Chain A
Amino acid sequence: MRKALSNTLVNLGKKDPRILLLTGDHGYSLFDDFRRECPTQYINTGIAEQNMVGVAAGLARAGFRPIVYGLSAFIPIRVLEQIKLDVAHDNLPVIFIGDGAGFVYSQLGTSHQSTEDIACSRAIPNLSVYSPSDKLELEQCLNIAYQDNSSVYLRVGKADLGDVHQMELVIKPGELVKVKSVDEGRYSFIATGSMVKTAIGVAGKLSNNIEVWSAPFIKPINRLMVEDICHNSEAIVVFEEHSKCGGLGSLISEIAATSSPVKILHIAVDDKFSEKCGSYEYLLKEHGLDLDMAHKNTLKFIEGL
Chain B
Amino acid sequence: MSFNPKKLRKTVLDMAYIGSTAHIGCAFSIIELLSVLYKSYLNYPGNNPTNKNRDYFLLSKGHGVMAQYACMRELGWLNDDSISNYFSDGSDLKGLSDSRIPGIEVTSGSLGHGLSVGVGLAMGAKIDNTKQKTYVLVGDGEINEGPIWEGAMFAAHNKLNNFMVIVDENGFQAMGRTKDIIALGSIQSKFESFGFDAITVDGHDEVAIDKAITRLWKGDNAKPKALVAKTIKGKGVHFMENDNSWHYTRLNEENYQQAVSLINDSKA
Residues of A at the B interface (CB closer than 8 Å) are 45-46, 48, 50-64, 81-82, 85-86, 89-90
* B99 and A90 contact, CB distance less than 8 A: yes
Chain B residue at minimal CB-CB distance from A54: B116
Closest 10 CB pairs of A and B: A58-B120, A54-B116, A62-B124, A51-B150, A48-B150, A55-B120, A58-B121, A50-B147, A58-B117, A59-B120
* A62 and B120 contact, CB distance less than 8 A: yes
* B146 and A58 contact, CB distance less than 8 A: no
* A54 and B146 contact, CB distance less than 8 A: no
For this complex, 15 residue pairs linking A to B, each with C-beta atoms less than 8 Å apart, are A46-B150, A46-B157, A48-B151, A50-B116, A56-B120, A58-B116, A58-B121, A58-B122, A59-B120, A63-B128, A64-B124, A64-B127, A82-B116, A85-B110, A89-B99
* A86 and B117 contact, CB distance less than 8 A: yes
Chain B residue at minimal CB-CB distance from A20: B127
Chain B: number of interface residues, binned into ranges? 20 to 34
B14 to chain A, nearest CB (A): 28
- Among B100-108, B171-179, B187-195, the one that faces the other chain is B100-108
Cβ contacts B213-236/A at 8 Å (1 or 0 each): 000000000000000000000000
Question: Which of A48, A58, A60, A62 is packed against the most chain B CB atoms within 10 Å?
Answer: A58
* B147 and A54 contact, CB distance less than 8 A: yes
Given A50-B116, A51-B150, A54-B113, CB of A90 within 8 Å of CB of B100: yes
* A46 and B153 contact, CB distance less than 8 A: yes
Chain B residue at minimal CB-CB distance from A81: B110
A189 to chain B, nearest CB (A): 41
- Cα of A52 to Cα of B123 in the assembled complex, Å: 12
B123 to chain A: which residues have CB within 8 Å?
Answer: 55, 58-59, 62
* B120 and A54 contact, CB distance less than 8 A: yes
- Cα of A57 to Cα of B56 in the assembled complex, Å: 14
- Cα of A249 to Cα of B128 in the assembled complex, Å: 45
Chain A residue at minimal CB-CB distance from B158: A43
* A51 and B116 contact, CB distance less than 8 A: yes
B118 to chain A: which residues have CB within 8 Å?
Answer: 58
* A61 and B120 contact, CB distance less than 8 A: yes
Chain A residue at minimal CB-CB distance from B108: A85
B154 to chain A: which residues have CB within 8 Å?
Answer: 45-46, 48, 51, 55
- Cα of A62 to Cα of B51 in the assembled complex, Å: 11
Q: Chain B at the A interface: mostly helix, strand, loop or mixed? A: helix
- Cα of A90 to Cα of B110 in the assembled complex, Å: 16
Q: Other than the known A54-B116, A82-B116, what 4 A-B pairs have Cβ atoms closer than 8 Å? A: A46-B150, A55-B117, A59-B121, A62-B121
A61 to chain B: which residues have CB within 8 Å?
Answer: 105, 117, 120-121, 124
- Cα of A45 to Cα of B146 in the assembled complex, Å: 15
* B146 and A57 contact, CB distance less than 8 A: no
A128 to chain B, nearest CB (A): 20
B239 to chain A, nearest CB (A): 35
B107 to chain A: which residues have CB within 8 Å?
Answer: 85-86, 89-90
B26 to chain A: which residues have CB within 8 Å?
Answer: none
A46 to chain B: which residues have CB within 8 Å?
Answer: 150, 153-154, 157
Question: Which of B52, B107, B116 is packed against the most chain A CB atoms within 10 Å?
Answer: B116
- Cα of A139 to Cα of B105 in the assembled complex, Å: 33
B59 to chain A, nearest CB (A): 14
Given A48-B154, A62-B128, CB of A86 within 8 Å of CB of B119: no
- The A-contacting residues of B in range 133-169, CB under 8 angstroms, are 146-147, 150-151, 153-154, 157
Chain B residue at minimal CB-CB distance from A45: B154
Given A50-B147, A51-B147, A85-B107, CB of A57 within 8 Å of CB of B153: no
Question: Which of A52, A53, A55, A82 is packed against the most chain B CB atoms within 10 Å?
Answer: A55
B116 to chain A, nearest CB (A): 2
Given A81-B110, A90-B99, A90-B100, CB of A50 within 8 Å of CB of B124: no
**Residue in B114, B120, B146 whose CB lies within 8 Å of A50:** B146
* B124 and A59 contact, CB distance less than 8 A: yes
A59 to chain B: which residues have CB within 8 Å?
Answer: 120-121, 123-124
